[in-house]
Amino acid sequence: MGPDPRRAKRVLVVGCSGGGKSTLSLKISERFNLEYLSYDRDVRWLPGWQVRDREEQRQIVADLVRRDRWVMDGTTVSTFDLLLPRADLLIWVRVPRHVALGGVARRVLANYGRVRIDMAEGCPEQLPDREFLTFIWTFETRVAPRLVSAIDRFGPHVPVATISKRSEFPALLDV
């Protein structure tokens, strides 16, 4: 893994849906006393699964990253120009797609019809649609290269910790 999260005041956690970004971010928040910010809850979604306007999303991100101590989960590459210059550490939860799909299945079973802590009010857990499952299935070929490019462009100074198994979460927290 490498980078030490104890020294980070601002941590960005990225990766594929279902990989455990929110779970890890909440644990980092508790362990290192950082404010927990969720892209889905605080930026992207409005009640009823309505997507907030892109410019408004960017303004919210710009306001949030000005805070002194935070951990944010979310993989919206279009805001990396705002996020990465402020981040002290980037954690990439880069699990295989079958693990991410299993994570989504467990999440739906545990939360169906309820609003999760990392989701906006009025957005209860629902069954994944084909588009969402395709996003997960193609994440490594479609999204990961854009992530790498954005990291190189906007955060070459930011240490990156890559986690390829959920079993690595405790080691990151128990440094």
For 109-144, the pLDDT digits (tens) are 999 999 999 999 999 999 999 999 999 999 999 999
- Run of H or E residues at 50: strand 50-51
Query: What three-state secondary structure class fits 28?
Result: helix
Global pTM reads 0.95
d(CA 20, CA 73): 10
pLDDT for 171 equals 86
Report whether pLDDT(1) > 60: no
pLDDT tens for each residue of 95-115: 999 999 999 999 999 999 999
| CA gap 72, 51 in Å, rounded | 19
d(C-alpha 70, C-alpha 72), whole Å: 6
Average confidence (pLDDT) over 33-41: 97
Q: How confident is the model at residue 20 (pLDDT cuts 50, 70, 90)?
A: very high
Which CATH number applies to 12-170: 1.10.132.20, 3.40.50.300, 3.90.220.20, 3.30.565.10? 3.40.50.300
